[in-house]
Amino acid sequence: NAGVTQTPKFQVLKTGQSMTLQCAQDMNHNSMYWYRQDPGMGLRLIYYSASEGTTDKGEVPNGYNVSRLNKREFSLRLESAAPSQTSVYFCASSEGLQAFFGQGTRLTVV
C-alpha cells in the first residue's frame, strides 16, 4: 500500500508563477487535508475536504485553491506564488481520527 502520495517532492518557483500540488490516497478515506509547515514550526490547515464533493477553508486559505477531483485525489493550487508561501506542504487523509500523511512537498518561492 502506498498510503498518501504527494507530487512533486521538491519545487522551486519564481514569484508570480502558478503550480498545482498533487495528492492521492489509496486507503478509500473520505477526508483529505492540506497543511503547510514553515521551518521549525507547527502545521497550519489550508483547506480540507470532509468528503468527496466538499471543500472547506482552514486556518490559512488565502492564496490557495483546492480541488477534490474524486475520492482519491485532492490537489492544491497556487495561482500566483509569493515568497511567503515558501514552506513544506503536507497532504493527509483520514477515516475517523487517524490521519495519514504524505512525505511532504518542499516548495521554495524566489
Distance set, CA 9 to CA 28, 54, 81, 91, 107 (Å): 23, 26, 17, 12, 8
- Determine the Cα–Cα distance for residues 72 and 29; give it in Å rounded to an integer: 8
Cβ-based nearer residue to other proteins, 11 or 30: 30
Location of C-alpha cell 518542499 = 106
Q: Say how many residues touch other proteins, by CB under 8 A.
A: 30
Q: Give yes or no for residue 102 binding other proteins (CB under 8 A).
A: yes
Cβ-based nearer residue to other proteins, 19 or 43: 43
Chain residues in the site for other proteins (CB under 8 A):
4, 30-31, 33, 35, 37, 39-45, 48, 50, 56, 58-59, 90, 92, 94, 97-104, 106
